Structure formats: structure tokens, C-alpha cells
Amino acid sequence: MPEGDTIFRTARNLGRALVGRPVTAFRSTFPWLMRFNDDTPVAGQTVESVEARGKWLLIYFSGGGILTSHLLMNGRWHIYRRGERWQLARIHMRIVIENEEYQAVGFRVPVARMHTQQSLDRDLRVAVPENDLLRVEFNAVAALDRLTARGDESVADALLDQSTLAGVGNVFKSEICFVNGLNPFRTVESLTRDEAAATIASAQKLLRANVLEDSGDMIVTYRGQQRRTTRASNPSESLWVYGRAGEPCRRCGETIRRRIQGADARVTFWCPRCQPMPNGADVEGT
């Protein structure tokens, strides 16, 4: 699943290709988007801005429409120069926005809707900017209250809840717990307020480091001895624990564990020595 940093970079790239330019063509395989387009043609309008909110991508048109899309597991937006060959088959196309220079193509986008500002404000699934770790509007104090309110939920599951902190996906979840020395199976209520605040601060720091101009598409939380300049073939080479079950912890050498966690059965990785349970209990894992 794309994490907040991926959506942020996608929004930045789409913004560069689309913002300020009149749309010359708009197509979609979603009937409700085409119905909207029949009533209010998107072609002729200008893209005013593109923004990321958590895992949602928002494209603002000058006519007042706001196209929201969520990429879930497999969706992605590509940008092509006019006439350039698509990298994915046409059958996966869901939305195309064209201008004189570029084609933005949403492939396998599973969720998309055309909102007005009012309907967007009412849509509780789309994160508000104050909850988004990557936005300047992010309010860490309010986020701390939301996180600590999650009580007996596990830290890992609470981190994934997009209404608590928008932007953390499954890779960052394990990495954030490791960096803070927190066992991912601890309950939120077992954290001190300082621990919870530090968790939010490092979530923000790790996500932000992954949206810098020179950061690639790969999530990097661990850089080893020096900054990596070539693309690693194995994504877990740039991570502390995610994807590294059975391998030695980069800090202490203990074997990294893996376990399925939470109602959504998401995989979690951790080091039992660096991230002990407070009561010394052992959490089973492979």
C-alpha cells in the first residue's frame, strides 16, 4: 500500500504537470465521474492545485470540482508527455487528465469521487490537514490527544488509524515502533505521554525525510554507515526491521521477528531485545 510519503510525492509530481494549465481532455471509466463531466465539463477548466491528505490525493479544478482519489494497494498515477507510451496496459486506466503538454493517468485507482468543497468537508474518510503528518498544518498536540485516547488498542494498530495520524502505512508502522524502542503490541495506554509524543515526533520526522526532493521512491529509515546513492535491489536494506524477519537486528544482533497483527491482519516486524514488553512478557513471533 502506498504510504503518505508516496502520495505526497505523487501530488507534487502531478502538481508540476497539471497546475496552472488548462485541461484539454478528461476521461474516466468511473460512470459517476463521466456524469459529472457531462454536466460540468472538466476540459477547459484549469487545475488550481494538487494536494495530498494522508493517503488521499486531491485535484482542485477551477470550476469548483475537487477530484479525490485513494490508491489503496495497487493504484498509481503516472505522468506522460503527450504521445509517450504508457507503462501499464490501457485496461488498467481509470482516469486521464490531459493538457497541452502532459497526460496524467490514474491506473487501477479503486476509489475516486468528484467533490465540492462542502461535500469534501463532510467526507470523514478524507483526512483533514491538521491530522496529516506531512502538512505544515499538522497539529502535534491534537494528534497526541487522539493517539492517547486509543486506550487499549495496540500501538501498531493505532499508528495505522488514518483518523489519528494521517500518512502512516504498514512499513512506517514497524519502523516508527523500532526507532522509539516500543514493542508494537504494547497498548497505547501503557505509554507515558512523553513516549506517545516522541512516537508522533518520529513518525513526522521519518515521513518528512522520505518526501525530500532527493528522496527516491523507496522508503528509507536506515542509512547504514553512509547515505545510499544507488538504488538497493532489496527494499528492506534501507529499513530497520520491516521485511527483515529472521535477520539480525541492526542495533543489537537479536533475530528480528514477524507476526500478523490487528483486525486488518497486517504484518508487523520488531526486535524483541530493542523493543521489549514493559512487563518482560514475550510476544510470539516467527
* Neighbouring-strand partners of residue 106: 77, 95
Closest CA to 247 of 286, 275, 197: 286
Q: Which is nearer to Zn ion, 104 or 239 (CB)?
A: 239
C-alpha cell at 221: 529509515
* Catalytic residue flag (residue 55): yes
- Of the candidates 251, 266, 276, 283, which one interacts with Zn ion according to CB under 5 A? 251
Q: Which is nearer to Zn ion, 127 or 179 (CB)?
A: 179
In this structure, are residues 220 and 207 in contact, taking their beta carbons and an 8 Å threshold? no
User: Shortest Cβ distance from residue 197 to Zn ion (Å)?
Assistant: 23
Q: Which amino acid is at 29?
A: T
User: Distance (Å, rounded) from C-alpha 217 to C-alpha 240?
Assistant: 17
- Residue 188: Cβ within 10 Å count: 21
Q: Which stretch binds Zn ion (CB under 5 A): 79-87, 93-101, 127-135, 251-259?
A: 251-259
Query: Does residue 212 belong to the site contacting Zn ion (CB under 5 A)?
Result: no
* Catalytic residue flag (residue 3): yes
Q: Which stretch binds Zn ion (CB under 5 A): 143-151, 190-198, 228-236, 271-279?
A: 271-279
In terms of DSSP bridges, do strands 76-81 and 93-98 run parallel, antiparallel, or are they unpaired? unpaired
Query: Does residue 239 belong to the site contacting Zn ion (CB under 5 A)?
Result: no
Q: Which is nearer to Zn ion, 82 or 223 (CB)?
A: 223
C-alpha cell at 284: 510470539
- Of the candidates 82, 273, 278, 281, which one interacts with Zn ion according to CB under 5 A? 273
Query: Does residue 271 belong to the site contacting Zn ion (CB under 5 A)?
Result: yes
Q: Which stretch binds Zn ion (CB under 5 A): 116-124, 170-178, 199-207, 263-271?
A: 263-271
Q: Which is nearer to Zn ion, 183 or 261 (CB)?
A: 183
User: Distance (Å, rounded) from C-alpha 14 to C-alpha 99?
Assistant: 12
User: Shortest Cβ distance from residue 275 to Zn ion (Å)?
Assistant: 7
Alpha helix segments (H runs only) across 57-169? 117-122, 140-148, 155-160
